[in-house]
């Protein structure tokens, strides 16, 4: 339900909310979404079978998407029907849906491997039976962009109702094929958040929308500033992590490390970014990454943002030390840069807003993981407890609650690595925290106790951010 409301906020035109006939749970889920009062159309999926269609009607959806295999390989080996039987079933299903006064989309499953003359016969038949939209699925992701363009061009010449496409990403071409379909006359594209889907997934929403709007100049109803929050919500609920290098929504999509790149971006962002798409357009933030390729200009800017103004000689020494750390394969955090700079400049570390005194956790198979944190917060001792899905989650939530009104921060990213072997392995935790202005600060900690390392890293990141 959270994802459905988020998609509605994002401005999607339709949500294919589930396959009601597949289970009682799916039926109830689709019914809940359909009755949630969303602005978007809620669609249910159905085979060309009356029991499937009845389940969608029972769920109260706005539109029914009915489908049947049309390629010889699927028709013969899965549904075991003749071409004539499939043609009749498709027409009957569409008529049945329209007789109930509902909007109908029809898919010829595996359309891109279906004989062209037969495919057009199917689409003409469903159009004659009142279908509102035809869908052309590249079910096993075998199309090339040029072939997709030619296919949709041919269909568009024969069919008078809107064309929708559904592309799979088996060869990494789902978005490219979708865009070629749009160029050829398709007016709708089926997409998924983070490109999730069967096997290698489907056309990604963010990549498709931003390509349409920024490259083609096409208008969509998507409120693009909500793309990142939508992507992260789906990542959190599915547990499927977004690759750092994923276009648009990945952590590195607007991150720059190379000295040449960072110098250019800091002077004028579109020197090394598309320009027609900015991080702000999708709710992202630009980051300067400090590593062995970082340039003098970037490190100086980062230090200035932390209120530090080293001399040229001190800056040279800071850069040397930072690159020495990076050459050992370590990621440079903001707290690392701060610590190195303060040491080189001979400055005190500064007052910490929060200082950990004690941490205890309780966990087990019959106990809800609970953490109790005692810390000095702004010279006042506080004790906070919280629960979570595990001891680390509980401890981090307790610290976030403790920081309370002093700063509105949230955990942006969390990663852990074992840096020694054995059951007593030393664990290194790197945490990034983000404030309400989208500014991100990172810090690290290492300990044989993963909970202690996590809390230490979080507190260090918070203190570093507040000092900045």
Give the chain's length. 468
Whether 78 and 162 map to the same domain: the answer is yes
Whether 328 and 374 map to the same domain: the answer is no
pLDDT band at 61 (very low <50, low <70, confident <90, very high): very high
Pick the closest to residue 43 from 21, 16, 25, 20 (CA basis). Answer: 16
Q: Provide the CA 451 distance to its chain's centre, in angstroms.
A: 27
Q: What is the pLDDT of residues 263-311, one digit of tens each?
A: 565 667 677 668 789 888 999 877 767 767 777 877 887 788 777 889 9
Whether 364 and 224 map to the same domain: the answer is no
Q: Sign (positive/negative) of CA torsion 389, 228, 188, 7?
A: positive
Look at residue 72 and tell me if it is in a domain.
Answer: yes
Q: What is the mean pLDDT of residues 438-465?
A: 87
Q: Which of 323, 345, 367 is the last residue of a domain?
A: 345
Whether 334 and 396 map to the same domain: the answer is no
In order, the DSSP letters of 324-388 are HHHHTTPPPPHHHHHHHHHHHHT------SEEEEEEEEEEETTEEEEEEEEEEETTEEEEEEEE-
Note whether 429 and 454 are within 8 A (CB).
yes
Q: Is the pLDDT of residue 349 over 70?
A: no
Residue 215: other Cβ atoms inside 10 A? 12
Look at residue 238 and tell me if it is in a domain.
Answer: no
Whether 66 and 200 map to the same domain: the answer is yes
- Placement of tokens 């500064």 in the chain: 350
34 or 307, greater pLDDT: 34
Q: What 3-state class would DSSP assign to 219?
A: coil
Whether 227 and 265 map to the same domain: the answer is no
Q: Rounded to the nearest 5°, which phi and psi values hold at 19?
A: -120, 85
Q: Hey, what's the torsion of the CAs at 246, 413, 269, 215, to 10 degrees? A: 30
Residues 6 or more apart in contact with residue 359 via CB below 8 angstroms = 371, 372, 373, 374, 395, 451, 452, 455
CATH number of the domain within which 388 lies = 3.30.160.270
In order, the DSSP letters of 12-39 are -SEEEEE-GGG-HHHHHHHHHHHTS--S
Domain count for the chain: 3
pLDDT band at 169 (very low <50, low <70, confident <90, very high): very high
Whether 332 and 364 map to the same domain: the answer is no
Whether 358 and 340 map to the same domain: the answer is no
Whether 264 and 320 map to the same domain: the answer is yes
Look at residue 246 and tell me if it is in a domain.
Answer: no
Q: What is the mean pLDDT of residues 185-191?
A: 98
Look at residue 247 and tell me if it is in a domain.
Answer: no
Look at residue 453 and tell me if it is in a domain.
Answer: yes
Look at residue 218 and tell me if it is in a domain.
Answer: yes
CATH number of the domain within which 188 lies = 3.20.20.70
Whether 295 and 419 map to the same domain: the answer is no
| C-alpha span between 55 and 132 (Å, rounded) | 20
Look at residue 358 and tell me if it is in a domain.
Answer: yes
pLDDT band at 434 (very low <50, low <70, confident <90, very high): confident
Whether 303 and 331 map to the same domain: the answer is yes
Q: Which of 233, 264, 288 is the last residue of a domain?
A: 233
Look at residue 182 and tell me if it is in a domain.
Answer: yes
Q: Rounded to the nearest 5°, which phi and psi values hold at 316?
A: -60, -40
Q: Is the pLDDT of residue 259 over 70?
A: no
Residues 6 or more apart in contact with residue 283 via CB below 8 angstroms = 224, 225, 226, 227, 228, 229
Note whether 99 and 133 are within 8 A (CB).
no
Pick the closest to residue 207 from 238, 237, 164, 242 (CA basis). Answer: 242
DSSP state of 243: P
Query: Tokens standing for 47?
Result: 């085979």
Pick the closest to residue 331 from 294, 365, 356 (CA basis). Answer: 294
Q: Which of 295, 315, 345 is the last residue of a domain?
A: 345
What is the domain extent for residue 56?
A: 2-233
20 or 363, greater pLDDT: 20
Pick the closest to residue 371 from 352, 390, 356 (CA basis). Answer: 390
Whether 78 and 106 map to the same domain: the answer is yes
């Amino acid at each position: 339900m959270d994802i459905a409301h988020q998609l509605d906020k994002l401005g999607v035109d339709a949500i294919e909310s589930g396959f009601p006939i597949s289970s009682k749970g799916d039926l109830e889920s689709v019914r809940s979404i359909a009755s949630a009062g969303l602005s978007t159309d809620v669609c249910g999926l159905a085979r060309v079978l009356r029991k499937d269609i009845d389940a969608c009607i029972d769920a109260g959806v706005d539109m029914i998407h009915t489908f049947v295999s049309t390629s010889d390989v699927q028709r013969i080996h899965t549904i075991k029907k003749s071409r004539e039987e499939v043609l009749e079933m498709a027409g009957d299903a569409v008529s049945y849906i329209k007789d109930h006064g509902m909007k109908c989309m029809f898919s010829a499953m595996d359309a891109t491997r279906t004989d062209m003359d037969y495919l057009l016969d199917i689409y003409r038949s469903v159009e004659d039976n009142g279908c509102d939209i035809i869908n052309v699925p590249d079910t096993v992701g075998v199309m090339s962009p040029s072939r997709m363009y030619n296919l949709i061009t041919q269909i568009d010449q024969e069919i008078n109702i809107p064309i929708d496409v559904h592309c799979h990403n088996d060869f990494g071409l789902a978005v490219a094929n979708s865009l070629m379909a749009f160029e050829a006359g398709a007016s709708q594209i089926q997409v998924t958040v983070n490109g999730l889907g069967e096997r290698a997934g489907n056309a990604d929403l963010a990549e498709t929308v931003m390509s349409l709007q920024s490259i083609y100049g096409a208008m969509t109803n998507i409120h693009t500033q909500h793309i990142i929050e939508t992507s992260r919500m789906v990542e959190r609920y599915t547990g499927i992590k977004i690759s750092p290098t994923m276009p648009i929504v990945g952590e590195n999509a607007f991150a720059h490390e190379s000295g040449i790149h960072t110098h250019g971006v800091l002077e004028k962002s579109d020197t090394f970014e598309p320009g027609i798409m900015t991080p702000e357009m999708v709710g992202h933030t630009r980051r300067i990454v400090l590593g062995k390729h970082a340039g003098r200009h970037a490190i100086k800017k980062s230090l200035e943002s932390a209120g530090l103004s080293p001399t040229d000689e001190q800056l040279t020494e800071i850069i040397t030390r930072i690159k020495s750390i990076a050459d050992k394969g370590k990621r440079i955090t903001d707290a690392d840069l701060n610590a190195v700079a303060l040491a080189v400049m001979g400055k005190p570390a500064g007052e910490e807003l929060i200082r950990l005194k004690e941490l205890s956790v309780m966990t087990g198979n019959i106990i809800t993981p609970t953490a109790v944190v005692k810390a000095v917060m702004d010279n006042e001792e506080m004790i906070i407890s919280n629960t979570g899905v595990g001891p680390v989650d509980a401890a981090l939530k307790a610290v976030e609650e403790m920081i309370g009104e002093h700063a509105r921060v949230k955990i942006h990213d969390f990663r852990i690595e074992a840096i020694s072997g054995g059951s007593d392995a030393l664990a290194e935790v790197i945490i990034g925290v983000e404030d309400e202005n989208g500014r991100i600060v990172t810090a690290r900690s290492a300990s044989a106790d993963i909970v202690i390392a996590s809390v230490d890293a979080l507190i260090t990141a918070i203190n570093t951010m507040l000092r900045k």
